Every structure is written in structure tokens, then in C-alpha cells.
A and B are shown apart, each in its own frame.
Chain A
Amino acid sequence: GAVVSQHPSRVICKSGTSVKIECRSLDFQATTMFWYRQFPKKSLMLMATSNEGSKATYEQGVEKDKFLINHASLTLSTLTVTSAHPEDSSFYICSARDAAGNYGYTFGSGTRLTVV
């Protein structure tokens, strides 16, 4: 079945620094990937849709300059949290949709970001 690998699983960074999170589809090509954010005991909030070879589409209220998304290949999308602040601490999850439409939506295991 489809597998999405997300890395790192946990990261602690200092305020003001940037953090990059990678999302890879391991055995399928993903033209579209999605990035979500989840607060404790809350549901997933869609941040942006990442399309291979084009600019990401951000949801209302999500700062595109703060959360940089790059989808350079059919198997890799990255989310960079720039100039991180403690309020950016959260659980970030990516998901990918198979280009052929065979697998539906597969999620990564998430990245716990803590900004100190």
C-alpha cells in the first residue's frame, strides 16, 4: 500500500530560527500534497495544498511567508517554518494523494515542533 514518510518526527528549535519538514511518498507519485496543523485535542486544520511544479495554495489566515512550501518533485514536498516563534509549536502532518488516484489519501506520521 501507499506509504508517506515524514521527517523529522520531533524537532525542538530556538525562537527566530527556521525549521524544514520533509514529506515523501515512498512508493507512488503524488502530484498533490497537503499540509495540516493540529493543536492538542483538536482536529486537523488544513494549511495549504502543495502542487508539484507550481506554487502552493494557502488556506485563509495562513501566512505564506511564514510557512514556505516547496513541491519540487512528484515524491517530495517540504514545509519550512520561518523565523519560528513559540506560538508555532504544534503537530504538523502532511498527506499525499496518488497521481493515479489509486490510493486515496495517505498521511505521514507527523512532526511535533516545539519552539523554545
Chain B
Amino acid sequence: SQKIEQNSEALNIQEGKTATLTCNYTNYSPAYLQWYRQDPGRGPVFLLLIRENEKEKRKERLKVTFDTTLKQSLFHITASQPADSATYLCAPRGYNTDKLIFGTGTRLQVFP
């Protein structure tokens, strides 16, 4: 069955450092992959989308990579700030479907 796995344990890093979050998928061939941020008690907010034929995408302090051979996406936040503390979710989307299925999510905590 399809599986989307993210680091289940919380990631704690110091302000100013780069946070790297991992998304691994199995039994899946996504056409593209999205990353979302979710704060407690709120709905997810879209951050970045990367397509199957793209290796890397950047937006301000965010960078996403997509390795279809390793079946993995990495999400980086550079110069992290306490305001970046949240849960980050990856969501691959397959061909010929509108459904967005989410990974388990990783909670990031940036401390001063």
C-alpha cells in the first residue's frame, strides 16, 4: 500500500540554523509534491510545489528537493526563526487524480 513518511519525532533547532525535513514515499509515483505548514488548530497553508521533472525549487528562505530515484523530498528552511515553529506536511499527488494525501507531518521547534 502507499506510504508517505516524515520524521515523526519533533525537530528542535536553534534560531539561525537550517532546518531540514524529510519526506519519503513508497508504492507511489507522484506527478508532483507539495509542502504545507500547519499551526495548531488551523488548516494547512500551502508553501511550495515541486514537479516530478524538477530537482529543486526555492522560495525566499525555503528550498525543496525532489529525488524520484530515492523516492524522497527534502524541505529546507534557512536562517530559521522562532516564527517558523509549526508542523510541516508533505503531500504527493499522483497522476490522474485530484486527491491530496498527506504525510505524517514533522513538528519543527526553533528556539532562540
Contact = CB atoms under 8 A, between A and B. Distances in A.
B101 A46 contact: yes
Contact of A97 (B98, B101, B102): B98
Contacts of A6: 43
Interface string A89-108: 00101010100000011111
A43 B104 contact: yes
A104 B46 contact: yes
B42 interface: yes
Q: Is the interface of A mostly helix, strand, loop or mixed?
A: strand
Interface residues of A, number: 22
Interface of A: 4, 6, 32, 34, 36, 42-44, 46, 49, 91, 93, 95, 97, 104-110, 112
B26 to A, nearest CB: 16
Contacts of A49: 98-99
Given A43-B89, A44-B89, A95 B103 contact: no
Given A44-B89, A110-B42, A110-B43, A105 B103 contact: no
A44 B44 CA distance: 9
A93 B100 contact: no
Nearest to A9: B41
